[in-house]
Amino acid sequence: MKSKYLVHFVCALTLIGTLSSCQKVIDVDLNSASPQIVIVGEVTDQSGPYVVTLSQTVNFSDANVFPTVSGAQVIIRDNAGNSETLTETSPGTYKTSTLQGTVGRAYSISVASQGNNYDATSVMPAAVAIDSLYIDSTSSSGFGNSKKKNKSVRVLFTDPASIENYYRFVEVVNGVAKPDFFITSDRFKDGSQINYKLSVSDSTLNSGDLVTVTLQSIDKNTYEYFRTLNQVASGGSFQSTPGNPTTNLSNNALGYFSACGIRSKSIVVP
């Protein structure tokens, strides 16, 4: 059984783009759990504004409507002494105006809402450039004896040697971010060129589509979040009832906070 939190987070991803953090797995009683806050936020090495969204979970049996969390105080700080209190620009959406992400700095988020406090920290890795994109075509059986061409993007990039690296890919097709989760690391690939295919079984690209791929260099905590989120989405590994993904947020909050270096490249599908 999948929690509605997972469904909510997949939808949320389509709307947004100390030196260590604790990690924990939060389990939710799907049928009678009290509402829990969901915090989703990123700081990058590109110009802001950076966005943090706040919402709440609902019971599994309730309507698939997730309340936003308004009136919270959201502060992002770095370890160089910079800080900013974010402005709520729409219900549950908080944005920066002056903060600038810088590679190598540790960024901390503090959220105060309804008498509770939540925090997390993420260190921003250096961005890794995309060497090139190309379209991978495979044939599959279509109606009758026809053959269907399934097209997907492959991303080539060179991993920096002697550094532990973790990556997340965001694919935007014709201006719409895809909700699929693509992550990898340089385990067994340190210092080599990595060729990564962005594809899902029930989706294909069409000729003329404009595809933009963003390669995020993320820290280990963020990687673990998306790795365990994939397990939840697929029903878990060697477990009958999957829990919720590992998070770097405190006080039983759900979601994640990430500082990441990013680089993007686009391609038109032939």
Which pLDDT score is estimated for 181?
79
Q: Which domain holds residue 61?
A: 4-126+219-261
Residue 266 lies in a domain: no
Among the residues of the chain, which ranges form H helices? 4-15, 220-233
Same domain, yes or no, for 87 and 144? no
Identify whether residues 22 and 107 lie together within a single domain.
yes
* Most confident among 2-6, 139-143, 177-181 (mean pLDDT): 177-181
Residue 59 has pLDDT above 60, yes or no: yes
Same domain, 72 and 149: no
Give the pLDDT confidence score for residue 160 in this predicted structure.
97
Of 8-17, 157-166, 169-178, minimum mean pLDDT range: 8-17
What is the model's pTM? Answer: 0.82
Asked if the structure places residue 269 within a domain, the reply is no
Of 183, 199, 215, the domain-final residue:
215
* Average pLDDT across the chain, whole number: 84
State mean pLDDT over 173-188: 91
CA distance 174 to 11: 17
pLDDT of residue 199: 82
Q: What share of the chain is helix, strand, coil (3-state, %, to 5)?
A: 10, 45, 45
**202 and 229 both lie in a single domain:** no
Domain assignment present for residue 268? The answer is no
Q: How many domains does the chain have?
A: 2
Using 50, 70 and 90 to split pLDDT, how confident is the model at 232?
A: confident
Q: Which of 223, 232, 129 is CA-nearest to residue 183?
A: 223
Answer yes or no: is 142 within a domain: yes
> Taking the CA of residue 228 as centre, how many other CA atoms within 13 Å lie in the half-sphere pointing to its CB?
21
Contacts of residue 133, defined as CB under 8 A and 6 or more positions apart, other chains included, come to 153, 154, 155, 156, 211, 213, 265, 266, 267
Cβ atoms of 16 and 8 closer than 8 Å: no
Q: Assess whether 118 and 228 both reside in one domain.
A: yes
Of 5-9, 51-55, 91-95, 170-174, the least confident = 5-9
Q: What is the mean pLDDT of residues 35-41?
A: 93
Task: Examine the domain organization and report whether 88 and 188 are in the same domain.
Answer: no
Higher pLDDT, 139 or 213: 213
Q: Is there a single domain that holds both residue 193 and residue 138?
A: yes
Q: Does one domain contain both 119 and 172?
A: no
CA distance 69 to 55: 5
Q: Are residues 210 and 226 in the same domain?
A: no
For residues 227 and 114, state if they share a domain.
yes
Closest CA to 259 of 137, 82, 102: 102
Please say whether the beta carbons of 213 and 124 come within 8 A.
no
Task: Verify that 181 and 142 share a domain, yes or no.
Answer: yes
| Alpha carbons 97 and 61: distance in angstroms, whole number | 39
254 lies in some domain = yes
In tens, the pLDDT along 100-146 reads 999 999 999 999 999 999 999 999 999 999 999 999 988 665 555 55
Considering the domain architecture, whether residues 140 and 189 belong to the same structural domain is answered as: yes
User: Which of 215, 231, 253 finishes a domain?
Assistant: 215
